[in-house]
Each structure stands twice: as C-alpha cells, then as structure tokens.
C-alpha cells in the first residue's frame, strides 16, 4: 500500500477522503485542515490529523492529495512536489494563468508526478464517447455541444475563493472540449448573465453562460452553462460528424419507467455532481494509485490545466467586452 496524506477536507475534500480510504492500494494516513473538527473527520476515514510541515517532512508519505481552497491549490502542490511527493491536485491548479506559466519549469516536468484531477475524463460514459470519436464511427468531427447545468447555485461562502463561473465551473467543459476536439481552439466568444441568484452578481460573478469555441479548420464547440437547471444535474455531450452523431446523454437515478394512460413516468436526474460522477471520482483516485505504483503516468497535469485556465480567462474577457478573443 502507498502511504498518502490529504490537504483539505471541505466539499471536494470529503469526496476524495472517502475514495482514498476505500482504495485498497492506498493508506490514507493524515488529514491536514484547520477546521476544529479535523480529528473527527480524519478518524472517520481511519486517518489522523497532522500539520502540513510534518506531512511534507515524513519520508513514509509517498503522495499528497491537494483538496484545499481553490486559491491555495498551487502553493500546496508546489510544496508537496518540492518535498518529493507525488501530487493529486483537485482542479484548477491555479486561478491565474500568468502565475501558472511562471512555474512552468517546475510543473511541466515535475520532479515527482503531478496529476491534476479533471474528473470528467474518467467518467465511463464520456470515455466511451471519446473512444467512438477516436475510432471514426461518426467520421470527421465537425461540431460539439457540451451541456453542463447545475441543479442549484453553490453555497455563498464558496464563491469568493472559487474563481467564478468560468474558472470553477466551465473549466470542466474547456477541458472536455480540448480532450474531444481534434485541434485546439483558435477563437472563443462568450455571453454571460446573472439570472439565477443576485448574491452571485453581488460578488462580481455570473451564473449563466453560452460559450463558442472555433478551431483553425472552422470546427465549432458550443458550451451551455447555468447554475440552475430546474430539473436536476444536467450533463450531456453531443458530437456531430460527417457520418452521423454520437451522444452521451443524461443519467437518471434508475432506469425504471411506469406507463399509464397519461404517459410515462421515470426517475429523476442525479441531484448533483457527487452522485453523477461517483464512478469518475473513484476512477481518478485509482489512477493516482496506479501512478504511485509506477503503473501509469498522469493523464492530466500542467499542460491541460494551463490550456483550460487560458480558455476560462479568454471567455471572461469576451463576456466583458462583447467581442471574440483570438487564442
């Protein structure tokens, strides 16, 4: 087993704690978090609370999961890499592309493995979609549509340090676009509004957006975002090619349907990301375990992080100016 520690036990940290503790190849030994109940949280997954400096100085700790607040990701990842620990970092790696580029020498070829966890690449349905696209089943990809709709806005306390809609939310879609499209986008245009919650506008953010990407060959990708779907966690990708289309549709909580005179009734969509992407979160933790065992190299790291962050910043600029941005 590979001995690891985790920094952060908040909303995303709780997901990673459970998956790390459940993975038979990992020994989750320590949890680092300033919260007053950290001892109780750590005990719940068979770990102990610890100080960051003690974790980094412990030669028995092979890897560190960085699930701290978004604005602390890069500092914690750099500290762990400097200590020779393999890093699993929750996305995004940082909130400032210029700062990320400043550490390119350390992050592009890190001394220890750096895995930045874009969980949707590990969703079995999206992986199956990519396999079909790569296999040429719909011919040459021409357009892509990504729907990413939250059922409800996140807690108000989360917003100030999250990076906002584009860097916290749409960044998943930018990564998916880069993963699924044959070529990198060369131009981006975005419209954005605050239609869901005035508290989001109060902190200078938006909650509803449409983003269009175009590559040098003219292929298009449209991204649809909202913080309020009204129907559950709406997650769909549609790919259109020269010989047909491929769709990864919404997942419902079960597949049972009841038919009566007034039609069909079925299960609702998943209520949120933790349920919808449960398999993906477990799979990315298994990927980290394989990295520690030298059985895999990180599927996503510095380059994927920088590319998605640059798109997020360009989208914000386009939404502000009302003009497309060349990349």
248 sits in which H/E element: strand 244-248
Domain spans of the chain? 2-112, 121-276+307-326
- CB of 289 within 8 A of CB of 26? yes
d(C-alpha 119, C-alpha 308), whole Å: 14
Question: What per-residue confidence (pLDDT) applies to 178?
Answer: 96
Cα Rg, the chain, nearest whole Å: 20
Sorted by sequence, the CB contacts under 8 Å of residue 154 that are 6+ apart come out as 162, 227
Question: What per-residue confidence (pLDDT) applies to 159?
Answer: 81
How far is Cα of residue 246 from the mean position of the Cα atoms in its chain? 22
Question: What per-residue confidence (pLDDT) applies to 260?
Answer: 95
Identical fold between 2-112 and 121-276+307-326: no
Domain 121-276+307-326 has CATH 3.30.360.10: yes
Is there a cis peptide before residue 233, judged by omega within 30 degrees of 0? no
257-260 and 263-266 beta bridge pairing = antiparallel
Which residues are bridge partners to 86 per DSSP? Answer: 63
Q: Where are the beta strands (DSSP E) in 25-163?
A: 26-32, 48-49, 63-66, 86-90, 114-117, 141-149
- CB of 55 within 8 A of CB of 64? yes
- 2-112 sits in which CATH class? alpha beta
Question: What per-residue confidence (pLDDT) applies to 156?
Answer: 74
Q: Is the CA virtual torsion 297, 223, 160, 14 positive or negative?
A: negative
Question: pLDDT tens, position by position, for the chain (327 residues)?
Answer: 999 999 999 999 999 999 999 999 999 999 999 999 999 999 999 999 999 999 999 999 999 999 999 999 999 999 999 999 999 999 999 999 999 999 999 999 999 999 999 999 999 999 999 999 999 999 999 999 999 999 998 887 788 888 899 999 999 999 999 999 999 999 999 999 999 999 999 999 999 999 999 999 999 999 999 999 999 999 999 999 999 999 999 999 999 999 999 999 999 999 999 999 999 999 999 999 999 999 999 999 999 999 999 999 999 999 999 999 999
User: pTM for this one?
Assistant: 0.94
> In 3-state terms, what secondary structure has residue 26?
strand
Question: What per-residue confidence (pLDDT) applies to 129?
Answer: 98
Question: What per-residue confidence (pLDDT) applies to 160?
Answer: 82
Question: What per-residue confidence (pLDDT) applies to 163?
Answer: 87
Buried b (16+ CB within 10 A) or exposed e, 214-232: bbeeebebbbbbbbebeeb
> In 3-state terms, what secondary structure has residue 321?
helix
d(C-alpha 273, C-alpha 163), whole Å: 18
d(C-alpha 52, C-alpha 42), whole Å: 14
């Amino acid at each position: 087993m590979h001995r690891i520690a985790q920094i952060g036990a908040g909303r995303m940290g709780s997901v990673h704690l459970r998956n790390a503790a459940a993975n038979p190849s990992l020994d989750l030994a320590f949890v680092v978090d300033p919260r007053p109940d950290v001892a109780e949280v750590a005990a719940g997954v068979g770990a102990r609370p610890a100080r960051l400096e003690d974790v980094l100085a412990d030669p028995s700790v092979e890897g560190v999961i960085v699930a701290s607040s978004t604005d602390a990701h890069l500092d914690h990842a750099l500290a762990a890499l400097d200590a020779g620990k393999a890093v699993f970092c929750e996305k995004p790696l940082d909130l400032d592309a210029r700062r990320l580029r400043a550490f390119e020498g350390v992050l592009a070829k890190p001394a220890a493995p750096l895995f930045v966890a874009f969980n949707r690449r590990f969703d079995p349905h999206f992986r199956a979609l990519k396999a079909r696209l790569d296999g040429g089943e719909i011919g040459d990809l021409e357009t892509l549509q990504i729907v990413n709709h939250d059922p409800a806005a996140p807690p108000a306390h989360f917003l100030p340090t999250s990076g906002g809609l584009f860097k916290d939310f749409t960044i998943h879609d930018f990564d998916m676009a880069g993963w699924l499209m044959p070529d990198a986008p060369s131009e981006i245009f975005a419209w954005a509004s605050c239609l869901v919650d005035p508290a989001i506008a109060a902190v200078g953010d938006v909650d509803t957006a449409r983003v269009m990407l175009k590559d040098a060959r003219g292929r298009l990708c449209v991204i649809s975002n909202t913080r309020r779907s009204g129907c559950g966690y709406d997650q769909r990708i549609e790919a259109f090619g020269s010989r047909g289309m491929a769709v990864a549709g919404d997942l419902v909580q079960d597949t049972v349907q009841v038919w009566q005179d007034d039609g069909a009734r079925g299960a609702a969509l998943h209520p949120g990301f933790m349920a919808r992407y449960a398999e993906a979160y477990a799979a990315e933790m298994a990927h980290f375990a394989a990295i520690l065992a030298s059985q895999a190299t990180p599927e996503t790291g510095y380059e994927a992080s920088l590319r998605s962050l640059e798109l997020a910043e360009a989208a914000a600029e386009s939404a502000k100016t009302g003009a497309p941005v060349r990349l």
